[in-house]
Amino acid sequence: MTDTVDDVLETVAAVAPDVRDGLPGRRLTEAGVENPSGETVTAADVHADELFFEALGAIDGVVEYASEEREAVADVGDGEDGVAIAIDPLDGSSNLASNNAMGTIVGVADDSLPAAGEDLVAAAYVLYGPITTMTVAQEGTVTTYVLDGGETRAVEEDVELPDDPVVYGFGGRVPDWPDAFHDYAREIETELKLRYGGAMVGDVNQVLSYGGVFAYPALESAPNGKLRLQFEGAPIAKIIEAAGGASSDGEQSLLSVEPTELHQRVPVHVGNEEYIDRLEAALAD
């Protein structure tokens, strides 16, 4: 299976530059459809999903492909056992119009989808920032690569969250935060610097780089928050926990959340363990 996982990660690295190259021509183009979560889909979302589906679905040993943009899981296997791919092909695509960071998030599961985070054998995110980087959690360790000119170059190994947290980023609107989260946020903002860019990958990468906490919490208007367990919460939690951090849906690790449906939403909190512990204590009061 390791060979297949390596093939998947190498393929994600190979496709990412094509996703990035396709962005300028699709800057303001909507696809005219909504995704299964009811969100407007951009032409860039569709393009990224098509590129990844074609490349990842062709790998021997990949038997299922599911994405944030597709209603159902696609069976891409040949009847053999294998791994399942859950992908957000272009995370933060609403940042394209404003030319801000976006990403791709990938979970590789050794179980049929929807899978629990504990069944992820690898997870990765690509960050389309000033530099295209790819951060991978595999076999309990995190490695960051620079993707440049067709080359994948490891630039940091055994990545760990810094011990002295610096930044926080919380999604949703302040009036929509439940009181317990609101009070927690008011404490955190006296301790850390606000860094929120509207694409989970960019905001989580700030936390991984500087230490701190990212959350898209449960909202009064959306008790399960906004982010999807399969395509955002679980793979990101896999990476942050492998980097020595913690994750929570408010009560438990995101890796322990029971998958009930492919596009289920979940409150997401990830970062340094002390901040996740305080979050869970605040919500338990």
Interaction between residue 12 and ligand AFP (CB under 6 A): no
End-to-end CA distance of the chain: 44
Interaction between residue 234 and ligand AFP (CB under 6 A): no
| β-bridge pairing 141-148 and 132-138 | antiparallel
With residue 149 as reference, give the H or E element that holds it: none
Interaction between residue 207 and ligand AFP (CB under 6 A): no
DSSP for 189-228 reads TTTSEE---S-HHHHHHHHHHH-EEEEE---SS-TT-SSB
Residue 103 beta carbon to ligand AFP: minimum distance, rounded to whole angstroms: 7
- How far is CA 19 from each of CA 25, 34, 46, rounded to the nearest angstrom? 11, 20, 10
Of 19-27, 197-205, 239-247, 276-284: span binding ligand AFP (CB under 6 A):
197-205
Complex with ligand AFP: residue 17 or 198, whichever CB lies closer: 198
Which residues make Cβ contacts (< 8 Å) with residue 253, sequence separation at least 6? 117, 237, 241, 246, 247
Interaction between residue 230 and ligand AFP (CB under 6 A): no
Interaction between residue 143 and ligand AFP (CB under 6 A): no
Query: What is the contact mask toward ligand AFP in residues 85 to 124, using x (rule: CB under 6 A)?
Result: ------xxxxx-----------------------------
Q: Helix, strand, or coil here: 65?
A: strand
Query: What is the contact mask toward ligand AFP in residues 168 to 187, using x (rule: CB under 6 A)?
Result: ---x----------------
User: Of the candidates 195, 226, 238, 265, which one interacts with ligand AFP according to CB under 6 A?
Assistant: 226
Q: What are phi and psi of 171, to 5 degrees?
A: -85, 175
Q: Which residues bind ligand AFP (CB under 6 A)?
A: 39, 91-95, 171, 198-200, 216, 226-227
